[in-house]
Amino acid sequence: QPDDRGLIGDVPVLRVTRRGPEAVHFVPAALEPGAEVLLSLDWERRFDHMQQHSGQHLISAIAEQMFGFKTTSWELGRQRSVIELDTPLVTAEQVEALEKSVNEKIRDRVPVTVRELAADDPEIETVRSRGLPDDHVGPVRVVDIKGIDSNLCCGTHVSNLSDLQVIKLLGVEKGKKNKTNLVFLAGNRVLKSIEQSHSTEKALTSLLKNGPGEHVEAVKRLQSSVKLLQKNNLNLLRDIAVLIARDFKSKPAPKQLFVLHRKEGDSEFMNIIANEIGTEETLLFLTVGDEKEAGLFLLAGPAEAVENLGPRVAELLGGKGAGKRGRFQGKAAKMSRRGEVQALLQEFISHQNPGA
C-alpha cells in the first residue's frame, strides 16, 4: 500500500517509509526538535487507499472461496488496482459471478476489525498470509472481515464493507508465469471512472452527431473513410512525384542541383523522385514535413559526393541518417536550416565545376 501524505505543522510530508519498527518521514525543511505541531493527514488519499486495500482483501477471499484462486500478489495503482491470481485462466462468467458476490457482501454491511496477536501465537497459523518481513518486530496485526476472511496486514482499512460503496471488476489480463491479473476499482474510484466515461461519451456524442449506442459503428465508418483517403492520398503523392521528376528532366539544360520541399510527402515520395530523375549526374536534396521543425530528408546523387556530404547535411539539420549507394536519408529536427544545406550543396557543385 502506498504511504500517507499530509503536513507536520505547515511542512509537507513528501514520503513515509518503514525502517524496522520506525516510520521515517521525509520533509523538505528542518523541524524544530521538541516543538508542538499539528499533524494534518491527506484524508482523501488515505481513504482511497483504505477502500482499495479492503476491496482487495474482500475480492481475494471470495475468489479463493468460490473458485480456489489464490492471490499471490497485488498492486494498488494510482488509477486502478491489480490482483495477481494463481491460475492461468479466469473466464468472463467467473468475473461476473465474483463481482456480484463481493458487492452482495458490501450491501450486507459486514464489519471489518483489526486486532493484534503475539508473534508466537498459534492462531497466526490459521490466518491467511504471504509471510512477514524479515525485519518485523513486535505484535502481528490481523485484519478480519467478519465471517469472510482473516489476513495478516499492516495496511489501513475501512471499518465496514459498506464504506467500499461498490467494487467494479474491469476484467483480466495475462500475468506472469501462468498467472492472471484481475483489474478492479473500489469506492470513489468507481464514481470517478463513471464521471470520466460520461464526459467522454458526451464529447463523442457531440462530435459524432449520434447517440452513445451508435458510437462504435460511427467510429468504424470513420476509420474506413480515413483508410480510403490515406490510400488515395498516397496514390496522388506518387503521381505528383513522377510528374515533378518528369518536369525537371524535360527542361533543355537540367541543373546539377535539384532541391524540393513538400510538407505532405514521405520517404517513398522522395525516393520516387530520385528514381525518376536519376542520380548519376544530378545532386538531389529533398525534404518533407514541417517547414521549420521536424521532418525527413533525402540526399541523393553521385555516390562519392553523397558519402562526403551526407553526414554534414544531417548535422546541419540537427538530425541523424545513414546511407549507401548514392543515397543518404534520415530524420531532421531543424528543417528551418534547409537554406544552409542548399548553400553547402551549391558551394560543393561550384568547386566541382569551377568554370560553371
* Residue of 136 and 200 predicted with greater confidence: 200
**pLDDT attached to residue 129:** 74
pLDDT band for 173, please (50, 70, 90 cuts).
very high
Is the model's pLDDT at 260 over the cut of 70? yes
Mean pLDDT calculated for residue range 295-299: 95
Mean pLDDT calculated for residue range 126-133: 75
- Structural domains in the chain, CATH included, are 6-41 (no CATH), 43-131+138-204 (3.30.980.10), 229-352 (3.10.310.40)
pLDDT, the chain, mean = 92
- What percent of the chain has a predicted confidence (pLDDT) above 90? 78
Span of 109-113, 129-133, 202-206, 270-274 with lowest mean pLDDT: 129-133
**pLDDT attached to residue 355:** 53
Separation CA 14–CA 141 (nearest Å)? 26
pTM here is: 0.73
Separation CA 181–CA 83 (nearest Å)? 6
Mean pLDDT calculated for residue range 227-245: 91
pLDDT band for 354, please (50, 70, 90 cuts).
low
Is the model's pLDDT at 342 over the cut of 60? yes
**pLDDT attached to residue 254:** 65
**pLDDT attached to residue 182:** 98
pLDDT tens, residue by residue, 182-193: 999 999 999 999
**pLDDT attached to residue 272:** 92
**pLDDT attached to residue 188:** 97
DSSP β-bridge partners for residue 150? 144
Mean pLDDT calculated for residue range 100-129: 91
Tell me which long-range contacts 318-321 makes (C-beta under 8 A, separation of at least 24). Answer: 321/297
**Are 313 and 300 within 8 A, CB to CB?**
no
Mean pLDDT calculated for residue range 308-333: 92
